[in-house]
Amino acid sequence: MNDLKIFAGRANPALSAKICDYIGIPSGKVSLGNFPDGEISCKIDEDIRGRDVFLIQPTCPPVNDNIMELLVMIDSCKRASAERITTVIPYFGYARQDRKDEGRVPITAKLVANIITRAGADRVVTMDLHAAQIQGFFDVPVDHLYAAPVLNDYMAQLGYQRDDYVVVSPDEGSIKRALGHAKRLGGSVAIVDKRRSSAEETHQENIIGGSIDGKVVLMFDDMISTAGSIVGAANLCKTAGAREIYVGVTHPVFAGPAIERLNASPITEMVFTDTIPLANPSLLQQTHPKFTALTVAPLLGEAIKRIHRNESVSFLFK
Ligand code: R5P
């Protein structure tokens, strides 16, 4: 592991520290700061010539600052003659604009992928992209990991029988994810008919598929932003007679009214991972005692180890 170097951006230092602990190497020394006008400064404080460098930086809020910091770090490593630069982006922001669904709008997922690649990233490690095909937006190898094993392990120890569950997909885009979880945890699959009216507002009117009455509902999503999608789906499940409602999400963005909405919802327990830091952790604990945070550090750490040793990463999907 001598030539492996891991550097953390400022987006999620706690996750980076856990990844380094898992691998058993110290975090690389880097000085990051801001000039008086807000521009980002970066100095890699150790020799990385010929090293296999991994930069850990989710592009979560403040999204633009975190992307720019990642680019500045890539450029520093490239100019310091790193042998290979892998960007570990546990949460890839701007991913939801992944196609032109009306005229004169950008495809930001492709734009950001282009910028990161052009800056000098040789490969990318990421987790639960909003749409799996975003992998193809990068012209370098992408290892796309899933938090599902971590979320499934947690749900499996709740003490219910496989027949107690119905896995509810909060929208039609998450059907494949719901089927995957149902295969491992049990239960039938139902789908919420979700219509989005704006970035903050969604409307849910029907549940298509299996019966919810008396069941333990499990819902999984890639992210919660304003919580409109998940809370709308949870309300519908409650009305349909759900006994309990458990939610598992990979990226807890919790933007705008999310905390208030989750707090007032019929969700029994909300489970999420540490791909991004919580915007306001103390508020969460005060308002909703049933938030549970799980770590994906071992999963990311194992992927980094395997990439460094040129070993299979798909092993982690099993
Ligand atoms: C939608 O396609 C995504 O998978 C999430 O369900 C959605 O982006 C969450 O957004 P919000 O929490 O604002 O409803």
Q: Above pLDDT 90, what percent of the chain?
A: 88
What does the pLDDT read at residue 200?
79
Atom of ligand 1 nearest to the CA of 226: 13
Beta bridge pairs of residue 34: 40
Claim to verify: residue 157 and residue 291 sit in the same structural domain: yes
Q: Whose CA is closest to 58, among 296, 313, 315?
A: 296
Residue 162, sorted as left (phi over 0), alpha (psi -120 to 50) or beta, turns out to be alpha
Q: Give the ranges where the chain is alpha helix by DSSP (H).
A: 13-23, 63-79, 108-119, 148-156, 175-185, 228-239, 258-263, 281-287, 297-308
How many domains is the chain built from? 2
pLDDT of 201 strictly over 90: no
Domain extent at residue 250? 148-295
Beta bridge pairs of residue 284: none
Beta carbon of 223 within 6 Å of any ligand 1 atom? yes
What does the pLDDT read at residue 236?
96
Claim to verify: residue 134 and residue 154 sit in the same structural domain: no
Query: β-strands 142-145, 123-127: how paired?
Result: parallel
Indicate if the alpha-carbon torsion angle 217, 219, 224, 228 is positive or negative: negative
Query: What is the tens place of the pLDDT at every residue in 36-55?
Result: 999 999 999 999 999 999 99
Claim to verify: residue 242 and residue 303 sit in the same structural domain: no
Claim to verify: residue 121 and residue 179 sit in the same structural domain: no
Distances (CA, A) of 105 to 23, 63, 64, 132: 42, 19, 18, 21
Q: Whose CA is closest to 272, among 150, 167, 186, 157?
A: 150
Say how many Å lie between the CA of residue 306 and the centre of ligand 1. Answer: 32
Helix (H) or strand (E) holding 216: strand 216-224
Token look-up 């949460």 returns: 91
Claim to verify: residue 227 and residue 164 sit in the same structural domain: yes
**Active site residues per annotation:** 194
Identify the CATH number of the domain in which residue 213 sits: 3.40.50.2020
Say how many Å lie between the CA of residue 223 and the centre of ligand 1. Answer: 6
Query: What is the tens place of the pLDDT at every residue in 132-152?
Result: 999 999 999 999 999 999 999
Say how many Å lie between the CA of residue 289 and the centre of ligand 1. Answer: 23
Claim to verify: residue 154 and residue 284 sit in the same structural domain: yes
What does the pLDDT read at residue 287?
67
Say how many Å lie between the CA of residue 194 and the centre of ligand 1. Answer: 10
Query: What is the tens place of the pLDDT at every residue in 225-264?
Result: 999 999 999 999 999 999 999 999 999 999 999 988 998 9
pLDDT of 285 strictly over 70: no
Encoded tokens for 22: 């898992």
Claim to verify: residue 141 and residue 158 sit in the same structural domain: no
pLDDT tier, 286 (very low <50, low <70, confident <90, very high otherwise): low
What does the pLDDT read at residue 289?
66
pLDDT tier, 290 (very low <50, low <70, confident <90, very high otherwise): confident
Question: Rg for the chain (alpha carbons), in Å?
Answer: 20
Claim to verify: residue 119 and residue 27 sit in the same structural domain: yes
Claim to verify: residue 130 and residue 163 sit in the same structural domain: no
Instruction: State how far the Cα of 16 lies from the Cα of 300, in Å rounded to an integer.
Output: 10
Instruction: State how far the Cα of 183 lies from the Cα of 295, in Å rounded to an integer.
Output: 23
Which mutation among 198, 229, 261 tests ligand 1's pocket best, with the greatest number of atoms within 8 A of CB? 229
What does the pLDDT read at residue 317?
76
Claim to verify: residue 108 and residue 176 sit in the same structural domain: no
Which residue CA neighbors atom 10 of ligand 1 most closely?
225
- In a 13 Å sphere around the CA of 71, the CA atoms on its Cβ side amount to 16
Q: Give this prediction's pTM.
A: 0.96
Which residue CA neighbors atom 6 of ligand 1 most closely?
229
Claim to verify: residue 25 and residue 137 sit in the same structural domain: yes
pLDDT of 22 strictly over 70: yes
